[in-house]
Structure 1
Amino acid sequence: MNPAMDIRFFPSSDGDLAYLDTGSGDPVVLLHSGWVDHRSLDAQTKALASDYRVIAPDTRGHGFSANATRPFRWADDLADLLRHLDAGPAVLVGVSMGGAIATDTVLEHPDVVRAVVACSAATSEYQYTDPWAREIQAASARALGAGDIEGWLTAFLRFVPGESRTLDDIDPEIPRRVREMALHTLSKHTPDEKDHLVPVTGTWERVPGIRVPLLTVNGALDAPDLIAEAERLARTVAGGRSVTIEKTAHYAHMERPEAFNAVLTDFLRSLPAR
């Protein structure tokens, strides 16, 4: 994959943050999952750009965006970008880490958020309890600690099919793309690099105060504890809804883009006029 030809850069206070800005209409922001970048949401960008202004950033430390050199929060980065682009309030659509960023942003910067779609995600305070997922996280940490990049990739890619399947059950193009993006992001970092990310705290206490439409989208084959936490998020927000996409796991937007896009466009069309 090549970077989008029309990728742009926002000169933040701590380096340039990359983003795609295409289409016209009400703004929809696509937020990628951890270790990959905006290209993982190409199918959604293409499906939405004819009717919406699609903004797809690379989260700090990922893809083509700068790494952090001082403390930061991803929610603050996103709010700064949307204010810079005069693109709020926007619908935030995030996958995994991106979904947590979307939820954190509506808690921290509600003025820039019109609605939230959290896919395979809840808030950023979620931690896996499922033994299968915890084992993958442990294997990933061991491999990175040993400098074993292939071992880390092998563990990381297990989230693509989920616990009940193997990579042999998946279109090989999906793990190939995820692998390429993950390697690109990993290459930006060094083993001794300080983690400057500041966590957003007290999220669940504030979730009942969310006053915008919220949808959670889950692959039926994803980790059960993550699905339960996402459904809890939907139940806790007034009017929140949850949708399950069958025959897919953590990367439903890549594995079943037609089904995912149908859910997303139905939600967007249901929103009150701005």
Structure 2
Amino acid sequence: MDLYFEVTGNGHPVVLVHSGGADSRLWTYLAPLLSKNYKVIAFDGRGAGKSPSPVTEANYVEDLLALMDDHDLNQATIVGHSMGGQIATEFALSYPERVSKLVLLAPSLTGFPYSEEFVQYHIEVSKAAPDIDKMLEVALHSPTYQVVNNSQNKDLNAQMLKHHFERMLKWPSDFHITWPHPPAIERLGELKPETLFFIGDQDLPDNYRVADYFGKVVPNIRFSVMTNADHMLPLTHSEDLYREIIAFMED
């Protein structure tokens, strides 16, 4: 397995899948808490953190499968944040027998029709390239980061995002992500694992629209809204997440 990973604790396995723009440092506070009760595997996705960069394409769902196979994990609880939640959802749809429970932290969703405002934000960040400091300035201005920007983890969040931009600018021009077909939005009603869905009360409207869609079509799901929280829940609300995830897993 060529992806960087860290394993802590013992017991039922929990695999943590970080968001885009971040790496396994996203779990700096949550992983040690969960490892008191479980075997926790936190890894850097391809092109993130200490893992190798993609060549021309990346299949994050198959990377997650390879990671579990490499660790002889027949089944695990999968926890995914943002794009990591998108990966976790796709994985649970493709390999439901490998997921004991699914925990989603403000996930994105393959095939979801995001708003023009949401798309334009990402375009503006890209237009600032290759000036990484400018990219960082534009990116961090989003409501996505307004709570974490006023927290003790402001610097950690900015460091991860800057590292992501530095690596992303070196990826091949023809790089693309391969997702399962049909997209998850067309199969979401088939999601089998019991699911716990978190979202911050100050997260983006688009992420609430995704949450609403999950609520309408996923048969076995419960929701938790974190107060005084934006999109970066693992950096600002680790204790709250830990308590609810533990209760969910032991239910």
TM-score (norm 2): 0.91
Counterparts in 2 of 1:162-201, with a 5 A limit?
162=144, 165=146, 170-171=150-151, 173-189=152-168, 190=170, 192-201=172-181
Counterparts in 2 of 1:145-164, with a 5 A limit?
147-159=130-142, 161-162=143-144
| Residue type of the alignment partner of 1:236 | V
**Secondary structure of 2:207 counterpart:** helix
Q: Deviations over 1:229-268 (max 9, x none)?
A: 1232143221211111111110122112222222222212
Q: CA deviation at 1:127?
A: 4.8
The answer on 1:32 being equivalent to 2:32 is no
Contact 1:71/1:197 (8 A) holds in 2: yes
> How far, CA to CA, are the matches of 1:40 and 1:60 in structure 2?
15
Partner of 1:13: none
Greater length-normalized contact order (CA 8 Å, ≥ 6 residues apart): 2
Contact 2:46/2:58 (8 A) holds in 1: no
| Residue type of the alignment partner of 1:194 | D
Partner of 1:224: 205
Gaps in structure 2 of 5+ consecutive residues = none
> How far, CA to CA, are the matches of 2:172 and 2:47 in structure 1?
15
Cα 1:108/1:182, change in 2 over 3 Å = same
**Secondary structure of 1:76 counterpart:** helix
Q: CA deviation at 1:210?
A: 1.6
Partner of 1:79: 65
Q: Deviations over 1:1-42 (max 9, x none)?
A: xxxxxxxxx2xxxxx211111111001111111121111111
Contact 2:148/2:230 (8 A) holds in 1: no
The answer on 1:43 being equivalent to 2:29 is yes
Counterparts in 2 of 1:90-109, with a 5 A limit?
90-109=76-95
> How far, CA to CA, are the matches of 2:64 and 2:85 in structure 1?
12
Number of residues paired by the alignment? 249
Partner of 1:123: 109
Q: Deviations over 1:66-110 (max 9, x none)?
A: 111243310100011101101231111111011111001011222
Query: Of the candidates 209, 222, 245, which is equivalent to residue 190 of structure 2?
Result: 209
Aligned-CA RMSD value: 2.0
Gaps in structure 1 of 5+ consecutive residues = 1-9, 11-15
Partner of 1:235: 216
| Residue type of the alignment partner of 1:154 | E
Contact 1:29/1:54 (8 A) holds in 2: yes
Contact 1:19/1:57 (8 A) holds in 2: yes
> How far, CA to CA, are the matches of 1:76 and 1:20 in structure 2?
19
Contact 1:139/1:155 (8 A) holds in 2: yes
Counterparts in 2 of 1:229-268, with a 5 A limit?
229-268=210-249
242-251 or 68-77: which moved more? 68-77
Cα 1:87/1:120, change in 2 over 3 Å = same
